Copies of this chain bind each other. A is one copy, B any other.
């Protein structure tokens, strides 16, 4: 990681981050203009496949037309399914609806599901691709910063149920990811900031140089400066790809580090109903700040590092405290109970990603729920 990013190639060629998974390696292309090139990229790699585009209304308004045009220009048969935007679209009902649409379009196993949208669309469409005919190919075209740096890479797909977030799904790798950074110009600044939280997370996990670069350059990234943006997205994808290759199915632990901030974060999202009150990246920002302060309270991490983390997230316009969540939250015990329903539970003990400092995160498998309850009490000033 250098203090100034490598410039984008002057010929406009995208940055390429390979994900070298045995038997299912794929590339992530990063840069502006990839929606317009999608048809050509897909035809060159997969031939004359038929495509089902899955997207949401907000994304469709800006980007579906150009994508469909690029498929038409490449001679690819394509139809689309447009869903309402929002987390509630990651449901069994949408799953059944999209599955039916793909089958109605008579897509075969070698055909393509293309996810055009943020993490909601990517997770849902990827899960559809995983289960229709027991597995179709799919391509991610992430259009939020969060999905470009996180959810579109790594093959975790799924939906929510009334009992919790992402409790149902599959590991199903995309065959290609096209991260068109120019699509972010139509994204709300709030969602740009939320995605930024995940970029900061990669620095905090194991890359202190990236974190230092972000401290100096976060304004350029969230201001959508093309070179800074591509640099930050590529650094994030490289970090995620490394972990995914090491632990594809999240069984060996390595991948669990990506959950820094997420055990706290998911509990807050559940408590606030996965809605506009608190969006995923904001919950992660609070979760990351809490994880560092919890680590400091346990004597694991210097309090200065926890303060530096919170200061940076705050400077990037992100929330860092429970009290930053608008409206009332459940009490401490209820929040801890929500964490215990989370996936990352082993026989009654909680699993958290804690830190010994910036860029020094580790997996703590044996966290006592009572210690978490006590910590939340301190956070609320009791």
Contact = CB atoms under 8 A, between A and B. Distances in A.
Nearest to A348: B108
A133 interface: yes
A212 to B, nearest CB: 35
Contacts of A161: 99-100, 103
A131 B341 contact: no
Most chain B CB neighbours (cut-off 10 Å) among A92, A95, A134? A134
The oligomer's copy count stands at: 2
A130 to B, nearest CB: 7
A108 B346 contact: yes
Interface stretch (A53-61, A165-173, A300-308): A165-173
A345 interface: yes
B156 A134 contact: yes
Given A134-B158, A170-B131, A164 B108 contact: no
Interface in A244-262: 249-250
A103 B134 contact: no
A164 B103 CA distance: 9
A104 interface: yes
Nearest to A159: B131
Given A96-B92, A163-B104, A135 B171 contact: yes
Nearest to A50: B347
10 contacts: A92-B96, A99-B161, A99-B168, A103-B161, A106-B341, A108-B346, A132-B168, A134-B156, A134-B169, A134-B249
Given A99-B161, A108-B347, A134-B249, 20 more contacts: A92-B95, A92-B96, A99-B168, A100-B163, A103-B163, A104-B163, A108-B345, A108-B346, A109-B343, A131-B131, A131-B158, A131-B170, A133-B167, A133-B343, A134-B156, A134-B158, A134-B171, A135-B170, A135-B249, A170-B170
